[in-house]
Structure 1
Amino acid sequence: MFFKISLISACLLCGTAVAENLRATGDLGVVIEREQGSALLVNSSHRTVLKRVEALGDLSHASVVFSRDQRYAFVFGRDGGLTKIDLLRDKIDKRIVQAGNSIGGAISQDGSLIAVSNYTPGGVKVFSTETLQQVADIPALYQGDKRSKVVGLVDAPGQRFVFSLFDAGEIWVVDLNDPQNPQIQKFQDIGKQPYDALLSPDGRYYIAGLFGENGLALLDLWRPELNVRRILADYGKQDDKLPVYKMPHLEGWAMAGDLMFVPAIGHHEVLVIDKREWNLVKRIPVLGQPVFVMARPDGRQIWVNFAFPDNQHLQIIDVKDLSIVQSLQPGKAVLHMEFTPRGEEVWVSVRDEDRVMVYDTDDFSVKARLNAEKPSGIFFTSRAYKLGL
């Protein structure tokens, strides 16, 4: 009897120990350390670093998506690497090198597929999220046998992916309900050199920025028969453009209500667009060339960072009156921002100061400083439930 009681007590204590070591995934995230080829696993609720995961390859332009259960992070490296990280075991689950030069990727609506956009060779490859086995290869061919760089890859409703062909000036929509037989819809002559794109939060509009000419290319995924529409085609035609030190990014979901906020290429401005009529509402002067223009989850604020030589600054726009309400100076080389799921805080990577700053988005006070080796992209697991990220 004594033995049985002791055994039961031991099991109960063991269970308690296991329970105390349990970790939830909803407030986890990944901070890319670009020069180290590593990533920090972080907890956004406690503002703590949990673990460093190394040997991730070239992370000079890395991005991350998450499995729908938030357990796994998929890291896209510039060297064509695709790495699956187990956020509960703090280690690499699997890693492959699928191309020579890649620029990002997306996860499908049902969470079963990972698509990677490639510069070399130009095209999109699709993999199983479970095994990282390749299930589809979609070369970005145009004008016969020419291959285009692929940019602006996003997931869309209906188990689809949408992306742009930089060299060809096209947008492709790929239906992968049957991965062995992808159905591709091509939209040609959408404009010169689409360089990035965003998907509206409802999954309806795909908007590609154009580097080779003025304006944006708009595709209504609900009504693709309308073809691609050019918006803001006349913007800045009479203005002198400045040298472009860093390409701006659109994939920040800079949408708030009926307004869209877009970084202007070669100008010190943020453009405000009414997405009901797709016309320009306002040009907001900012202190440098904007790179990321990101909306707080509630849509009340827009946070803006800048290219060199003004990349030590942040500016915040109040959507209510479309004015700048705060300017911050976190340090040298502010590269990326990420809001906590409900937007009460924002994490900011400051590459040349080797740290991540955490700000309160209400009073703009500093809540924490975390050490990181040359940090760049910051990605929280709440992205798992958002389209286009």
Structure 2
Amino acid sequence: MTRWTRPLTTLLLTLTLAACGSVPALRGSGDLGVVIERASGSVQVVDNSHRQALYRIRGLGDLSHASLVYSRDARYVYVFGRDGGLSKVDILQGQLVARVMQAGNSIGGAISSDGRIIAAQNYTPGGVKLFDAETLDLLADIPAVDAHGQVSKVVGLADLPGNRFAFSLFEAGEIWVVDASQPRQPTIRKYPAIGKNPYDGLASSDGRYYIAGLFGEDGLALLDTWQPDAGVRRILPGYRKDDPALPVYKMPHLRGWSLAGDYAFLPAIGQHSVLMADSRSWQEVAQIPVYGQPVFVMADPSGRRVWVNFAFPHNDTVQVIDVPSRKVIQTLKPGKAILHMEFTGRGDQVWLSSRDDNKLVVIDPHTFATLTELPADSPSGIFFSWRAHRSGM
């Protein structure tokens, strides 16, 4: 190509691309996030480097209790809606790619360790369904029916290494672990009689521990997946024995627990306290008094501080716990109905959703100064793309 023909070739290429329509700017997804807008059935894609909104994607159904997971390349998110809808969204193009109605009432899901399988947990009719992550084709349907014929709502679905999933059965009081290595023929190991009414569950980031919170009794149930034959054991029993349980205005989210140093921090049901446990022995170390009933208990990426939000009527408040001193060091009132918190990958910002003020609040977690506020339509969950590379998210 001569120096005379090169400009002409470049011009022709530019004209060809223009004729094909607008081409999105080339960019990565590492600083992107997705915000659930619960009232309008939409999500916002946000950029946390520049602290701005990029797109709004509509038509995702009932998102009054919605969550999502990322594809392993962090280009797509899979949104699980309350109405049983499963939606695949391209966050780089700002488009809804595919959507299936897979149940009557769904509250969340997970993605397999190899990124090929999407698992949805359902209240109605109960059970877990496995889908192809590329096409959303159904691979398997796993009804949540125990040995006595009891149909249960499924809660606490979490991914484990080796294309496995763990979840809990609310009515039956069981934990099931599904091996989906052969997704059209999954195998199930069941752990019965773990306790009354498991309401949520979580997996540690290394996939070793699966913990179910128990609504019907004091304590939590722990499965060590490295020692599956040892069964499920009770941890933190009797943490409410010295203080009568208060009315529960909102169920805490165990998925919002934290590991910080050698300790685990978890929300206490019906208490104005955060539970602090040794993360090896799972013995209670302390109960840290806080402003209200905690919902999410989230450590910043350094593990030095833990941020807590609260159920109604204290949901306008966020508190920050200093891990070494085990004391609250800051109380913030950033907006009405703070439903969710999310740190950037390296912890330079924390984003908060204020549902009743229709805004997102971005705070410097070191100085506690507000960096910016962005409009959002009844925002709830905030999910940044670093989640694509973490287990148990």
Report the AA paired with residue 348 of structure 1: L
TM-score (norm 2): 0.96
Structure 2 match to 1:82: 86
Whether the 8 Å CA contact 1:208–1:216 is kept in 2: the answer is yes
Aligned mates of 1:333, 1:233 — CA distance in 2: 31
How is 1:229-240 mapped onto 2 (pairs within 5 angstroms)?
229-240=233-244
Report the AA paired with residue 107 of structure 2: I
Aligned mates of 2:241, 2:97 — CA distance in 1: 50
Report the AA paired with residue 32 of structure 1: I
Structure 1 counterpart SS, 2:218: coil
Q: Shift of the alpha carbon at 1:225? A: 1.1
1:228-284: CA deviations, max 9, x gaps? 010111221242111100000010241112201011101100010012221111110
Aligned mates of 1:165, 1:114 — CA distance in 2: 19
Structure 1 spans left out of the alignment, 5+ residues: none
* Aligned-pair identity (%): 59
Report the AA paired with residue 316 of structure 1: V
Distance change in 2, residues 1:19/1:102 (3 Å): closer
Counterpart pick for 1:293 among 265, 281, 297: 297
Whether the 8 Å CA contact 1:302–1:318 is kept in 2: the answer is yes
Structure 1 match to 2:271: 267
Q: Shift of the alpha carbon at 1:176? A: 0.5
Structure 1 counterpart SS, 2:254: coil
Structure 1 counterpart SS, 2:292: coil
Structure 2 match to 1:355: 359
Distance change in 2, residues 1:191/1:295 (3 Å): same
TM-score (norm 1): 0.97
Aligned mates of 2:218, 2:157 — CA distance in 1: 21
Structure 1 residue 175 corresponds to structure 2 residue 179? yes
Whether the 8 Å CA contact 2:341–2:352 is kept in 1: the answer is yes
Structure 2 match to 1:104: 108
Structure 2 counterpart SS, 1:244: coil
Structure 1 residue 51 corresponds to structure 2 residue 55? yes
Whether the 8 Å CA contact 2:174–2:193 is kept in 1: the answer is yes
Structure 2 counterpart SS, 1:251: helix
Aligned residues: 389
Counterpart pick for 2:67 among 38, 63, 74: 63
Structure 1 residue 156 corresponds to structure 2 residue 157? no
Q: Shift of the alpha carbon at 1:8? A: 2.3
1:322-366: CA deviations, max 9, x gaps? 111111001110000011011111000000111000011111111
Which deviates further from its counterpart, 253-262 or 377-386? 253-262
Structure 2 match to 1:192: 196
Aligned mates of 1:74, 1:123 — CA distance in 2: 18
Runs of 4 or more consecutive aligned structure 1 residues displaced over 4 Å after TM superposition = 11-20
Structure 2 counterpart SS, 1:310: coil
Which deviates further from its counterpart, 209-218 or 270-279? 270-279
Structure 2 match to 1:125: 129
Q: Shift of the alpha carbon at 1:67? A: 0.3
Structure 1 match to 2:9: 8
Report the AA paired with residue 300 of structure 1: R
How is 1:334-353 mapped onto 2 (pairs within 5 angstroms)?
334-353=338-357
Structure 1 residue 25 corresponds to structure 2 residue 26? no
Structure 1 residue 307 corresponds to structure 2 residue 311? yes
Whether the 8 Å CA contact 2:257–2:267 is kept in 1: the answer is no
Aligned mates of 1:20, 1:313 — CA distance in 2: 39
Whether the 8 Å CA contact 1:263–1:291 is kept in 2: the answer is yes
